Structure formats: structure tokens, C-alpha cells
Amino acid sequence: MPVIQVFAPEAGDVARLLAELADGVAHASGLGGGDVIATFVPVAATAVSGGGLDSWPVVSVHGSRRGADTEAAVVAAAESAVRSWAEAAGIPVGGVWTEWVAPGLGA
């Protein structure tokens, strides 16, 4: 069961973002309803070296290894959902940091 954490400015329809994110990751992973959990952590401010003002949402997908192709598809789906949400919410985004975080050794 993948668990997703999104760290970003709170704006727009966060509930819709989480629903789309959970559904997109479930689809990319070959999982069904209730198999993916998405959470949102509001970020009050972002600083970019050199004085940039754009935000950089961070998306961490925590889950057991599913193979490189599936993990890449999940990360791409997560990034796409966050970029679409940020654009609709009027959040200038410099990039979206996405990662697959596997549990410790042997998992």
C-alpha cells in the first residue's frame, strides 16, 4: 500500500489533488480502490538559492519495491498531478521533486 506525502503551499483544491493523486498512483501501480493513501503537508515558505521565488513541491511515494518501470510510472503520474494542481491554483512552480521511497533493507 503506497503512502504519498505532498509538501507544498496550501492553495486551490487540495482535496481534489489528493484524490487525483491517489487514483493516478493506483492506476500506474496496478492497484485498486483503497490501496493508495495520499496526504498533504502545507509549506509556509520556500527559499531557492540565488533568490528564486518559485515553489518546489516535494512528493514522496512510500512503498515496497514494484520494479523500475512501475516506480517510474508512479513518479511520473504523481508529478503530473501536482503540476496540474499547482497550475490551476496559480502556484508558480520551479519544479516538482518526486521520489519513490522504499522501506529499509529486505522489504
pLDDT attached to residue 1: 86
Backbone phi, psi, residue 14, to 5°: -65, -40
Query: Model confidence at 106, in pLDDT bands (50, 70, 90)?
Result: low
* Domain residue extents for the chain: 3-101
pLDDT attached to residue 2: 93
**12-25 mean pLDDT:** 94
Given a contact cutoff of 8 angstroms between Cβ atoms, the answer to whether 85 and 17 are in contact is yes
**29-46 mean pLDDT:** 93
Q: Is 15 exposed, middle or buried (0-12, 13-18, 19+ CB in 10 A)?
A: exposed
CATH architecture, domain defined by 3-101: 2-Layer Sandwich (3.30)
Given a contact cutoff of 8 angstroms between Cβ atoms, the answer to whether 97 and 58 are in contact is yes
pLDDT tens, residue by residue, 39-92: 999 998 888 888 877 889 999 999 999 899 999 999 999 999 999 999 999 999
At 56, which amino acid appears? W
Given a cut of 70, whether residue 107 has pLDDT beyond it is no
Given a cut of 90, whether residue 103 has pLDDT beyond it is no
